[in-house]
Structure 1
Amino acid sequence: MVNHRLSLSDFLLALPDADKAKNQINLISFNIQVGIQTAAYHHYLTRSWQHLWPHKQRTPTLDRIADILRHFDIAALQEADGGSWRSNFINQVEHLADKAKFPHWFQQTNRNIRPIAKHSNGLLSRLEPHQVEYHKLPGLLPGRGAMVMKIGRTDPLVIIVLHLALGAKTQAAQLGYIQTLVEGARHVVIMGDLNNHADHLLSNTPLAKLNFHSVDPLLHTFPSWQPQRGLDHILVSDSIQINKVAVLDTPISDHLPIAMQIQLPSKIIL
């Protein structure tokens, strides 16, 4: 049986050598659960107070996450805190960018519960973007957004960071919005906690209208202590070659991160 869950070191060792390394990009998507370590279902109850209250272990946990992120070129983060009471007013996206030595970082706060919490997504990049856009996604309740980063001016690489709603109907509406954003783009990467399995997303939502790679259904990321569901994804358009993809066996949050190395067409200039 193929091992779909690897340690970080094994994933890095398994990356192929390509002739044109400048067009290789290492990607990671990680729902970090605001730095809360969850290793069992009962922790959702016993550690729930950490969603509202500071905890001394939160920063060391973020530093462990940064040690993982530093091996990648682009990182998508979900459930980060933008700097509030519960995080000791530390912007977790900025903290991770600093610790992992990313020169470019972007944060989108989608739900601001002052002063307790600032629910945010994050995007870290070693590649300088040409443009970054922030979009609010449709839904009955506010609090979901998308960040769109374009790298390169001509025929750009488009990176989209998402954390979708839970309901399938709302997910479809949110992905319909995304579909309109990327119409005409040829090289697209969608990264994030998409709260559904890849086969459903690629067959039964507006993503079916786009030319994305199918994804291995055994890439399970949730829950981190006994993964049974594939909720976290990196989806790429068919113009992009996937060199390696795996779930990283690094149980820090309640989700495991998903990592991928892609090979861009040689004609793309980043």
Structure 2
Amino acid sequence: MVAEKKMAPIVSVKVMSFNIAHGLGMDGTVDLEKTASVIEDSCAGIIALQEVDRHFSARSSFVDQVDWLSRRLGMHAAFGATLDLEPEAPDMPRPQYGNAILSKYPIKYFENHLLRQVITPIGHNEQRGILKAVIEVKGSYISVYNTHLAFKDEELEVSINELLDIAGNDRFPRIIAGDFNAAPDHIQMKKMKKEFSDVFLKMKRGDAYTYPASYKNEAAGELLKPVTRIDYIFMDDEFDVAQTAVMDTAVSDHLPILADLIVMKTKKLTEQPTVSELQKA
């Protein structure tokens, strides 16, 4: 059993959620340096990324984007594959695609949960998952869940139930971030908001649209603007939110979102949790 003592000093952390579309910008080019620059400019300490490639295919030049971004930004990294394919040759790395968490703070433990698929005859049947990381921020521990859910109603319902179940029993303050592929008035998002606070609604910014990213196509004379919000950061009642923002950029088809969070109720641990205790968090 880990001993606990009095309340720790208030801990604040800036969190980002960003579907990077494997670095594919609205101009049709893949440029991971532009993605890294957006993350760097945000000054976020914990970043939840969706649609990240690892040696996946020629579309991203077979780059390990998790390793590349981690090195470029000088951050710790965790990855959870939702697609994990056989390599073309025994000496080649496995092509993978999924969710990643980058952190300025030490990642003490992480695990990947594959969600149950609901196969339908019409629709994109893609494996989905939830990446959980326990992160030590200034002596306090935070659980971060990163996900990218299906837009099919049948599967979204199943996934939300699984997500709430997985995150339901956690000893540390919880943040849930990701691309939910559902607008705020969707019944499943209402279910989420019964258990966790939507940071943008908390700041009375329900109109903080994230999709599609703004882009002016000069050749086609087309101007795209965000029309819906499908990317979210949720927090439990151990947090308060000081500020939120949507970054305007065309480096992906989604806009990155930010939240400055304050841990209100965390207790400082007198001992480092064991791996077993982190697994049970």
Closer, same or farther: CA 167–125 of 1 in aligned 2, 3 Å = same
Q: Which residue of 1 aligns with 2:49?
A: 77
Q: Which amino acid aligns with 1:105?
A: A
Q: Residue 198 of structure 1 aligns to a residue in which SS?
A: coil
Structure 1 position 100, deviation (Å): 1.1
Q: Which residue of 2 aligns with 1:174?
A: 159
Q: Which amino acid aligns with 2:258?
A: A
Q: Which residue of 2 aligns with 1:63?
A: 33
Structure 1 position 134, deviation (Å): 0.7
Identical residues among aligned pairs (%): 24
**Structure number with larger C-alpha Rg:** 2
Closer, same or farther: CA 142–250 of 1 in aligned 2, 3 Å = closer
The answer as to whether partners of 2:80 and 2:111 remain within 8 angstroms in 1 is no
**How far apart, CA to CA, are the structure 1 residues paired with 2:187 and 2:231?**
11
Closer, same or farther: CA 35–208 of 1 in aligned 2, 3 Å = closer
Q: Does 1:190 align with 2:176?
A: yes
Q: Does 1:143 align with 2:119?
A: no
**How far apart, CA to CA, are the structure 2 residues paired with 1:119 and 1:213?**
27
RMSD: 2.7
Task: Output aligned runs, 1:229-244, within 5 Å.
Answer: 229-244=228-243
Structure 1 position 202, deviation (Å): 6.3
Q: Which residue of 1 aligns with 2:23?
A: 35
Structure 1 position 114, deviation (Å): 5.1
Closer, same or farther: CA 258–124 of 1 in aligned 2, 3 Å = same
Task: Output aligned runs, 1:4-19, within 5 Å.
Answer: none
Q: Which residue of 2 aligns with 1:218?
A: 207
The answer as to whether partners of 2:10 and 2:264 remain within 8 angstroms in 1 is no
Structure 1 position 143, deviation (Å): 1.6
Structure 1 position 155, deviation (Å): 8.5
**How far apart, CA to CA, are the structure 1 residues paired with 2:230 and 2:50?**
12
Q: Residue 63 of structure 1 aligns to a residue in which SS?
A: helix
The answer as to whether partners of 2:110 and 2:134 remain within 8 angstroms in 1 is yes
Closer, same or farther: CA 237–130 of 1 in aligned 2, 3 Å = same
Q: Which residue of 2 aligns with 1:158?
A: 143
The answer as to whether partners of 2:239 and 2:265 remain within 8 angstroms in 1 is no
More strand per residue: 1 or 2? Answer: 2
Q: Residue 81 of structure 1 aligns to a residue in which SS?
A: strand
Gaps of 5+ in 2: 1-7, 89-94, 119-124, 215-224, 270-281
Q: Which amino acid aligns with 1:179?
A: L
Q: Which amino acid aligns with 1:254?
A: D
CA displacement, residues 84-142 of structure 1 (integer Å, 9 cap, x when unaligned): 3322221111111111110x101122113555963221111112133211100112245
The answer as to whether partners of 1:201 and 1:208 remain within 8 angstroms in 2 is no
Gaps of 5+ in 1: 1-19, 40-46, 48-56
Q: Which residue of 2 aligns with 1:16?
A: none
**How far apart, CA to CA, are the structure 2 residues paired with 1:266 and 1:238?**
9
Closer, same or farther: CA 35–211 of 1 in aligned 2, 3 Å = closer
Closer, same or farther: CA 21–257 of 1 in aligned 2, 3 Å = farther
Q: Residue 35 of structure 2 aligns to a residue in which SS?
A: helix
Q: Which moved more, 1:116-125 or 1:140-149?
A: 116-125
Instruction: Using structure 1 for the length normalisation, give the TM-score.
Output: 0.76
Aligned length: 231
